[in-house]
Structure 1
Amino acid sequence: MTNWTATGLSPSTTYSFKVRACDPSGNCSPYGATVSGTTSSGPTNPPAGSLPKHILTGYWQNFNNGATVQRISDVPAAYDLIAVAFADADASRPGAITFNLDSAGLGGYTVAQFKADIAAKKAAGKKVILSVGGQNGTISVGDSTAANNFAGSALAVLQEYGFDGIDIDLENGVNAQYMGQALRSLQSQFGSGLVIAMAPQTIDMQSTSFEYFKLALATKDILTVVNVQYYNSGSMNGCDGQVYSQGTVDFITAQACIMLQGGLRPDQVGLGLPASSRAAGSGYVSPTIVNNALDCLTKGTSCGNFKPSTTWPALRGAMTWSTNWDALNGNAFANQVGSHVHSLP
């Protein structure tokens, strides 16, 4: 190992380090000179890894379910962050993951082409990450062994395909302690440029006592963005205690407010919506409503009945399921929401 990242440091604190070299047999050289450094006044944001201040995230389907079949190269340039859906569970090791490109379902898309397309997107300044879970995901990280298996297997897959990070989209529950352990282990091995995203369901972020919210807060120092799925949920309580109906600007803004008031930084909060009425069972709203919600939260304009007591200009952006459904809908989300996200202050 030729590099190492110190994590969990306190702001405005001086730390001293010294290193030595050791061979596999345990024979070590003398320690070198001590090097000291002082952390910033913090808190500071995790490395953006060339992602813009405001981003559009889109899930890309590694399967054919009636939406437009795409290659990574087909994803419009409006998408800054592409989440490949989904990793598979490795049945031989608890918590471990694998990835298998559905070449047959995607019209003969080869692994070599897939890797080349990822590299091309990265060369264009985009980030491509691997999403873990989904509606049918069976990956469970519930103890230290599973956490280690997850981190080790994820690192191998990310390095094999050239992914920039990981997205946690476990709709069947998470364990904040051990998934947090897994993500920290993965980040320490991958490096500080690792993109970490999450896509909890609406109910998962109703309270800071819920496991998904606890996971987001526990990994806040290395977390890139949380794109809550504001669909398939029904009516929910907002941050003001009032009940709001799904599929409205009030629902979106009053839900996002919970995260913003609950401890996440604005740059870690994204709004997740379906790309079309066929992309989700319920909760679709037009791109205009998505843009109104973005404006309400960042500028205090275009709100519905609920108007937050403050604004969060650094709000990260929006997410959609999926780029494939968006393509079938004329790329309305990419064109209308994407351009609006990128125009935010």
Structure 2
Amino acid sequence: AAFVAVTWKEYEVEAASPVTVAEVPVTATNAAGESAKSTAVTGTTRASSDGGTALPKHAVTGYWQNFNNGAAVQKISDVQSQYDIIAVSFADATATPGAVTFNLDSAGLGGYTVDQFKADVQAKKAAGKKVIISIGGERGTVAVNDSASATNFANSVYSLMQTYGFDGVDIDLENGLNATYMTQALRSLSAKAGSSLVITMAPQTIDMQSTSNGYFQTALNIKDILTVVNMQYYNSGSMLGCDGKVYSQGSVDFLTALACIQLEGGLAPSQVGLGVPASTRGAGSGYVSPTIVNNALDCLAKGTNCGSFKPSRTYPDLRGAMTWSTNWDATAGNAWSNAVGPHVHGLP
């Protein structure tokens, strides 16, 4: 009798959530005729490596305010659908060095309850969004300056992820950070949370002028687990671009020439986003119209709509844009997300 060896080639399939797939039975044929049909094989896809719906190639980040400062008060459920990453602002420092907690401002948010908040976070995640907890802000006092505080930071952030369903953490420390110990903290958090962890950063412009700066060092140290750096292109003086020229905030050139430092300094284009105010009330200075934001995105990703500065190459994998805040955006009739959101998602 003749035997025919049939080799099955295994393919690895990812899906946003596990689904059942079936293979069609096969037969083998040789001079002796056709074999009996094989048994159909059923398998289940594994979940994608981020534990759920992956972020889109080009993403929009928005900060959600856990306080009322005159901007439109929102529940998480109110956050506009254009936002792919929602950064809950902010965690609070505790008496334990490096540790953080989260206190929902129920009174300031019109009676928003913790149970409602948790349910809204889950609903956003079910809709494919990422909800993360932001550490820092203008008044943030979290310090991670030694190994013990790094451990406390990782343990406490992971606890908040488990309690509230957060997908990760945003580092928005505006009073500097220690690259050695913040790197340790984030790697420890990653070891606990796994490959699903979302890590974003929102350094000020001065923090990303040089790769020797602690913020830039931290970003490069965790490049393999870093999601995106959304530098704040506002509340800033004039800064150097990657061409060595000085640029003033509020222009296409300020956005593109400063982004270039990160793009040429070691970050992947997918790890670079443009952080801007959602309205003139969202920051003390540095507001740019959505048109300028979109022109800067086009300049970096496609080489079109540039100002006087034109990058030496294009970065089609550029991640996208960030804004402070979803609340100020809502106050201004969602003008920012309505204009920038579709543009980001329409990039090549």
Q: TM-score band (shorter)?
A: 0.7 to 0.9
Q: 2:109 corresponds to which residue? A: 106
Q: TM-score, normalised by structure 1?
A: 0.86
Percent same amino acid at aligned positions?
Answer: 73
1:82 to 2:81 alignment: no
Q: 1:215 corresponds to which residue? A: 218
Q: Deviation at 1:49?
A: 5.3
- Describe the SS at the equivalent of 2:276: strand
On the 8 A contact 1:46/1:221 being kept in 2, the answer is no
Distance in 1 (alpha carbons) for counterparts of 2:226 and 2:205: 19
After TM superposition, list the pairs within 5 Å mapping 1:42-121 onto structure 2.
Answer: 50-91=54-95, 93-121=96-124
Amino acid at match of 1:195: V
Q: TM-score, normalised by structure 2?
A: 0.85
Distance in 2 (alpha carbons) for counterparts of 1:154 and 1:230: 27
Distance in 1 (alpha carbons) for counterparts of 2:130 and 2:67: 20
- Describe the SS at the equivalent of 2:237: coil
Distance in 2 (alpha carbons) for counterparts of 1:293 and 1:321: 18
- Describe the SS at the equivalent of 1:318: strand
- Describe the SS at the equivalent of 1:272: strand
On the 8 A contact 1:64/1:106 being kept in 2, the answer is yes
Q: Determine which of 312, 317, 322 is the counterpart of 1:319.
A: 322
Amino acid at match of 1:119: Q
1:263 to 2:263 alignment: no
After TM superposition, list the pairs within 5 Å mapping 1:289-308 onto structure 2.
Answer: 289-308=292-311
- Describe the SS at the equivalent of 2:172: strand
CA RMSD of aligned residues (A): 1.2
Moved over 4 A (4+): 45-49
Distance in 1 (alpha carbons) for counterparts of 2:52 and 2:219: 17
Amino acid at match of 1:76: Q
Amino acid at match of 2:180: Q
Q: Deviation at 1:333?
A: 1.1
Q: Determine which of 158, 167, 172 is the counterpart of 1:169.
A: 172
Structure 2: gaps of 5 or more residues:
1-48
On the 8 A contact 1:49/1:193 being kept in 2, the answer is no
| Larger Rg computed on CA atoms | 2
Q: Deviation at 1:234?
A: 1.3
Q: 2:127 corresponds to which residue? A: 124
Distance in 2 (alpha carbons) for counterparts of 1:140 and 1:56: 28
Deviations 1:306-326 (A, max 9, x none): 000100000000000000000
Distance in 1 (alpha carbons) for counterparts of 2:213 and 2:108: 37
Q: 2:31 corresponds to which residue? A: none
Q: 1:152 corresponds to which residue? A: 155
1:226 to 2:232 alignment: no
Q: Deviation at 1:339?
A: 0.6
Distance in 2 (alpha carbons) for counterparts of 1:305 and 1:47: 43
Q: 1:286 corresponds to which residue? A: 289
Q: 2:197 corresponds to which residue? A: 194
- Describe the SS at the equivalent of 2:133: strand
On the 8 A contact 2:53/2:128 being kept in 1, the answer is no
Amino acid at match of 1:221: D
Q: 2:252 corresponds to which residue? A: 249
Q: 1:41 corresponds to which residue? A: none
Distance in 2 (alpha carbons) for counterparts of 1:96 and 1:177: 17
Distance in 1 (alpha carbons) for counterparts of 2:73 and 2:325: 11
Structure 1: gaps of 5 or more residues:
1-44
On the 8 A contact 1:48/1:224 being kept in 2, the answer is no
Deviations 1:252-293 (A, max 9, x none): 000000000000000000000000011000000000000000
Distance in 1 (alpha carbons) for counterparts of 2:282 and 2:268: 29
On the 8 A contact 1:97/1:154 being kept in 2, the answer is yes
Q: Deviation at 1:46?
A: 8.5
Q: 2:181 corresponds to which residue? A: 178
